Amino acid sequence: MKIDTRIHFEVSERKILLRLFDTVFVILALFLLDSFVDFQYIDVSLDNLWWIVILGLYVNVIGTIFEMYNLQVASNQFQVVRSILLTASTTVLFYLLTPFLTPFLPSNRLQIIYFFGAIFSALLIWRIFYQAFLASHRFEKKAVLICDKEEIVELVGDLQAADPHYRVIGYIDTGKSESYVFNYGGVDAVQTENLVQFIQEQTVSELVIAGAKADIITVPLYNELLRLLEFGFPIKEYTQVYETLTQRIPIHYLDRDFYRYFLFSRSNQNKLYLIFVRAVEIILAIVGLIAGCAILPLILLGNLLGNRGPLFYKQIRVGKFGKPFKIYKFRTMVKNAEAGAAVFATSNDVRVTTFGKFLRKTRLDEIPQFINILSGDMGFIGPRPERPEFVQELSDIMPFYETRHIIKPGLTGWAQVNYSYGQSFEDSLIKLQYDLYYIKHRSIFLDLNIVIKTFSTILFYRGQ
């Protein structure tokens, strides 16, 4: 059997590719600028390696904040031009304002224009090339599913919604009924005896098994899988593929063997990690409260004109291990917004005041929660604390919901930076998947990722 050896880039590899060539193109542009124009600000050479490294670091970090490495943004021409403009402008600004790490400010303003033009042009040319020749061709991956035909619509929809370059083109039905052949949206039914031939003809990249029960694999299918495995063909489990593509835990698909897939991160019990995180949280909380005090007069004025009522708002939320605590916020809704039963807030909630909308969009309404962080009721990063009324309801209909309480709730979190406001139980299910992904993969790297994405949320005015 001949395995498909065409180049294919996984999601993580695409992001590495973008970061690498962003840096390479910027350095190359500055080298060409130095060669053909009287550019004196930075000389691209080994003697100035430190300055070049700092520039590459700035491009990558600032590019992350402005979503340069969001694959959906990278594939959209309008959005990527906006991100390039913001990234180039901010990179130049930071680079010029940190002369203790970078070259001293140029005396000639024309040098700054050259510098900006080189960075902007380099990023723009590379990203146009990426969209034209790479994004639509090299990234496509074809897969075959082994599942019950009754599940094919949901399984295929979930995978392809997560990554449009991931294409399920065939499936093997493991159901008991063989009364009819079901083909769905370009996904062909494949007979077990034709599996190897189908994989070769269609240049399939991997086989995905979707089923928690061992008895779905018949003896003939088992022999075909063993044959493929002997040739080094990738065979994966559905929950692993789903988790990699969506960065969520598929709790709706886990069965009684959930413990095989849902392993807690060691960071949850790592004393050194927890001490470091707590120290950082205290520092950030103190800085946040000082900044909050600095802008408090403006918030008081806005509250007086746009809220007309108490500035602060207190509410009972559920914390670590299910312990209730009082959360503090700047009030964003009208007084007595919940005269009756508790209800989910919506994206266009009529109870939110004019000034309250501004506070929510900028996340300024959450500044008082730094008090909760200092007191230890909350962390800086973690699942958002929910109200007891909703926790009870959600726990009754969602398995694993109480699992999110094994760590402290957070001011921001993986669900908050990846998903919109929870307006229903369905939204809460998706946010729970993100929360559990964080608990499973919790680490310094993921924490930094969330912090950077939080900056993006604030800068692009996407608060809830």
Helix 152-162 and helix 238-246, axial crossing angle in degrees, nearest 10: 30
Q: Given 102, 134, 166, which residue is the final one in a domain?
A: 134
Of residues 154 and 31, the one with the higher pLDDT is 31
257 assigned to some structural domain: no
**Does 130 share its domain with 72?**
yes
Q: Given 115, 134, 153, which residue is the final one in a domain?
A: 134
Q: Which two tokens stand for residue 32?
A: 């060409």
5 assigned to some structural domain: no
CB distance 395 to 306 below 8 Å: no
Provide the 3-class DSSP secondary structure of residue 212.
coil
Q: Which two tokens stand for residue 214?
A: 């061992």
CB distance 239 to 196 below 8 Å: no
pLDDT digits (tens, 9 = 90+) for 404-461: 999 999 999 999 988 876 667 778 888 999 999 999 999 999 999 999 888 887 777 6
1 assigned to some structural domain: no
210 assigned to some structural domain: yes
Length of the chain in terms of residues written? 464
Phi, psi dihedrals of residue 215, rounded to the nearest 5°: -75, 0
**Does 149 share its domain with 80?**
no
**Does 110 share its domain with 154?**
no
464 assigned to some structural domain: no
Residue 184 is given by DSSP the state B
* Residue % of the chain over a pLDDT of 90: 45
**Does 306 share its domain with 404?**
yes
259 assigned to some structural domain: no
Q: How confident is the model at residue 390 (pLDDT cuts 50, 70, 90)?
A: confident
254 assigned to some structural domain: no
Q: How confident is the model at residue 255 (pLDDT cuts 50, 70, 90)?
A: low
pLDDT digits (tens, 9 = 90+) for 300-354: 999 888 888 889 989 999 999 999 999 999 988 887 666 556 666 666 677 888 8
443 assigned to some structural domain: yes
**Does 162 share its domain with 52?**
no
- pLDDT surpassing 80 at residue 184: no
CB distance 414 to 438 below 8 Å: yes
Question: 130 CB contacts (<8 Å, ≥6 apart)?
Answer: 18, 21, 74
**Does 155 share its domain with 236?**
yes
**Taking the model in full, what pTM does it have?**
0.82
Q: Which two tokens stand for residue 272?
A: 């050194």
**Does 107 share its domain with 160?**
no
pLDDT at 52: 94
- pLDDT surpassing 90 at residue 383: yes
**Does 293 share its domain with 395?**
yes
Domain boundaries, position 202? 141-246
Provide the 3-class DSSP secondary structure of residue 336.
coil
Which of the given ranges, 11-20, 128-137, 400-409, 418-427, has the highest pLDDT on average?
Answer: 400-409
* Residue % of the chain over a pLDDT of 70: 88
Residue 134 is given by DSSP the state I
Q: How confident is the model at residue 215 (pLDDT cuts 50, 70, 90)?
A: low
pLDDT at 8: 61
**Does 212 share its domain with 228?**
yes
Q: How confident is the model at residue 154 (pLDDT cuts 50, 70, 90)?
A: confident
**Does 277 share its domain with 401?**
yes
Q: Which two tokens stand for residue 416?
A: 């908050």
pLDDT at 2: 57
Number of domains in the chain: 3
pLDDT at 137: 58
- pLDDT surpassing 60 at residue 371: yes
Within 10 angstroms of residue 212's Cβ, the number of other Cβ atoms is: 17
pLDDT digits (tens, 9 = 90+) for 343-360: 666 666 778 888 888 888
**CATH of residue 182:** 3.40.50.11060
Q: Which two tokens stand for residue 217?
A: 């694999």
Provide the 3-class DSSP secondary structure of residue 383.
coil
pLDDT at 176: 61
Out of 121-130, 265-274, 346-355, 370-379, which region has the weakest mean confidence (pLDDT)? 346-355
pLDDT digits (tens, 9 = 90+) for 273-308: 999 999 999 999 999 999 999 999 999 999 888 888
Residue 2 is given by DSSP the state P
Q: Give, in order, the Cα–Cα distances in Å from 389 to each of 64, 334, 341, 396, 427.
A: 37, 21, 9, 11, 16
**Does 296 share its domain with 442?**
yes
Q: Given 134, 162, 185, which residue is the final one in a domain?
A: 134
Of residues 305 and 8, the one with the higher pLDDT is 305
**Does 298 share its domain with 188?**
no
